[in-house]
Amino acid sequence: MANALYAGRRRNNVIWAALCYAATAFGLMWLALILGALLWNGFGGLSLDVFTKMTAPPGVEGGLLNSIVGSLIQTAIGLLLAAPIGILAGTYLAEYGRHSKLSTVIRFINDILLSAPSIVVGLFVYQFCVLPFGHFSGLAGGVALAVIATPIIVRTTEDMLSLVPNTLREAASALGMPRSLVIRKIAYRTVMSGLVTGVLLAIARMTGETAPLIFTALGNSLFSVDVTQPMSSLPLIIYEFARSPYAEQQKLAWTGALIVTAAVLTLSIVARLVSAPKRGGH
């Protein structure tokens, strides 16, 4: 009787354990399949032409230069807007307004923005950065990316600053340092690697974003560094070429996909390495 009970419990345990192993294998399988497909289809297309030639109409040898440059410009705009705003807002939440009611609200709203659908962000930026000017522009694309990136930086900045021991702040204040200097010279320096991590994660997120660019930057088959004009970017060109019936454009789409994924994954791994020593046990 007792033995049967034990055997049953042990059997359940084994079954559930097997299911968990299977779930993990299932999850890892997709990563392998996707990365495998990217390497298989994208690696062959990697050549100097990809980085030196423009996107071309079907039948003409082309590359991805204008898209790569467009991606870099728009990410830079996004970063220039999002990094200062995000770090300052995170500073307010962690330092000046740590316990205020307003901060609780802002924290909550920021968390919602953090996972808000990016296509909605695109619509929002279209409404106030494209419609008033009457045309799509790389600047609008950069603004859309900034809206996506800001909450990430706010969140990591606040999290990191709240790790700074209060004794450190008190020691600095006791020496007569004004509050803003305590924050800039002591708190920021203590968690510099954490702040860098947040920024890197935000860049990674911006690099892969497509949905908010479709109707802000629109895309451009010509080389353009003019941010007031429509601008190409890697995700947009992948979106366009992947649905193209022409083999050479499809091939470029895969190569672009490989470049984007490599960039995003490298950034997130570097971000992890940068913050690793501080986090200790995690």
Partner 1 sequence: MSATTLETTSAAQSPAFDRARALGRHKAADSSFRWMTFAAALLVLVLLLGVAISLFIGAWPAFREFGFGFLISDAWSPPREKFGAAAAIYGTLATSVIAMLIGVPVGLGVAVFLTELCPPMLRRPVGIAIELLAGIPSIIYGIWGVYYFRPFMQDYLQPLLIGTLGNVPLIGALFAGPPLGYGLLTAGLVLAVMILPFVTAIARDVFETVPPVLKEAAYGVGATTFEVVGNIVLPYTRVGVIGGVMLALGRALGETMAVTFVIGNAPHIQSSILAQGTTISAMIANSFADADPGLATSSLLALGFILFVITFFVLAAARLMLARLAQREGR
Site for partner 1, residues 231 to 250, rule: CB under 8 A? 235, 238-239, 242-243
Select 26 or 280, whichever has its Cβ closest to partner 1.
Answer: 26
Report the residue number, 31 or 174, with the smaller CB distance to partner 1. 31
Q: Is the CB of residue 70 less than 8 Å from the CB of residue 224?
A: yes
Tell me what percent of the chain is helix, strand and coil, each rounded to the nearest 5: 75, 0, 25
Residue 62 CB neighbour total at 10 angstroms? 20
- Stretch near partner 1 under the rule CB under 8 A, chosen from 9-17, 48-56, 62-70, 188-196: 9-17
- Contact with partner 1 (CB under 8 A) among 56, 76, 92, 251: 92
- Stretches 66-74, 148-156, 186-194, 220-228: which one binds partner 1 (CB under 8 A)? 148-156
Rounded distance between C-alpha atoms, residue 33 and residue 200, angstroms: 26
Q: Which stretch binds partner 1 (CB under 8 A): 48-56, 66-74, 220-228, 267-275?
A: 267-275
Q: Which residues contact 136 (CB under 8 A, 6 or more apart)?
A: 130, 215, 216, 217, 218, 230
| SS3 sequence of 200-212 | HHHHHHHHHCCHH
- Phi and psi, residue 218, nearest 5°: 70, -40
Confirm or reject binding of residue 23 to partner 1 (CB under 8 A): yes
CB of 121 to partner 1, least distance (A): 7
Number of residues this chain uses to bind partner 1 (CB under 8 A):
89
Q: Mask of contacts with partner 1, 94-133, x by CB under 8 A? A: -xxx----xx-xx-xxxxxx-xxxxxxx-xx-xxx-----
Q: Does 211 bind partner 1 (CB under 8 A)?
A: yes
For partner 1, the binding residue among 7, 46, 192, 265 (CB under 8 A) is: 265
| 207 CB-contact burial (10 Å; exposed 0-12 / middle 13-18 / buried 19+) | buried
Which of 173, 193, 210, 221 contacts partner 1 by CB under 8 A? 210
Question: In whole angstroms, what is the distance from residue 219 CA to residue 238 CA?
Answer: 11
The answer to whether residue 43 forms part of the interface with partner 1 (CB under 8 A) is: no
Phi, psi angle pair for 119, to nearest 5°: -65, -30
